[in-house]
Amino acid sequence: MVARWLLRWRVLGSLVRARGVVSWTEVKAHLRHFLRGPRLRHRSGASGTYESESRNGNPPPPVLFQMATGYWLSQAVYVAAKLGLADLLKDGPRSCGELAAAAGTDPWCLYRLMRALSMASVFVQTQHGHFALASLGKSLQSDVPGSQRAIIVTLGEIHYHAWGNLLHSIRTGSTAFTSVFKSGLFGYLQHTPEAAETFNKGMSDVASMLAYAVLLAYDFSGISSLVDVGGGHGTFLRTILQLNPEMKGTIFDLHSTIEQARQYFNGEPCGDRIAVIGGDFFHSVPEGADAYVLCGVIHDWDDDSAIQILRNCRLALNRNGRLLLVEVVMPDDDRHCFSKLLDLNMLVMTGGRERTRAEFAVLLKTAGYSLTRIIPTLAPQSVLEAIPN
């Protein structure tokens, strides 16, 4: 309490010296402005946390402090995902003691985690110290449509540590991930099976929902053969084939990834229409398809590397074939857009980048294509269609 009042009087003294404030009315106005500062404006749900605090007489901290402590919440969500708390709550509310016993945690510390995440509308605190899943938290379950559990675990582990060295990337222009893990992302995943399994599962969950957004936006009729370059476990291609029964497809990725992908096609309705091929897209890709799709691949790489991948696809395309890139297209103005943060993520993780329409056009032209059109989807990504020159 004493320290708090000392701080206030020091602030007052600074204001008087700096502004020449002489009346208590003026001092109070300046002090209120200084201590309150700007505040983030929030909508309902998880982002309504600070509004609720303000209504309850507990003012939120200044906006920059909220930004700087954003990783507190992100790591809390990660821990909930890692512990599988949403799976433990899928059948209804449970006490913290029951959850702690099932998750192997300290009951009191788990209660504090759940209480904080209830503030963020991930969980709901009910009577007698029980907790239930909030609507937002249902996506933390493992095997539900739109699950985000695996991608959040990946973000909370390898991304989190790499982002802790963002300063290195900004100072040197090199990838923070490499400076932390002593290996590039894809090399690290090849030698760290557990991290690779979570990463690939997270990418598959994202690809599943993205495929539906692409299908709603782009007409695949007329394409009889499609190669998914860098297709991972094949979730994206499998979804496309399920809704295009006359199409055949090929998943092409690193041998280590492809070996894991094969197990996903046992008993699949479209499994007999899918070929699974391992290789390196910097050397070559399977030849002779009507179309080649690269979903979230090009943004992983710098321009020279991206051009090499695109040229290899061009060499493999049928005479009247087309290239489809599924990527975020950055605005070339000062509009607020998540892609500008995603661009920093690519710098940190792979040394890649997000690109504007003009930058994609130049990239494709250099690789021997013409950009024909860009089709927005319901997701942040668009479909960029290109044909060989």
**Active site residue ranges:** 299
Instruction: Give the distance from CA 372 to its chain's centroid.
Output: 28
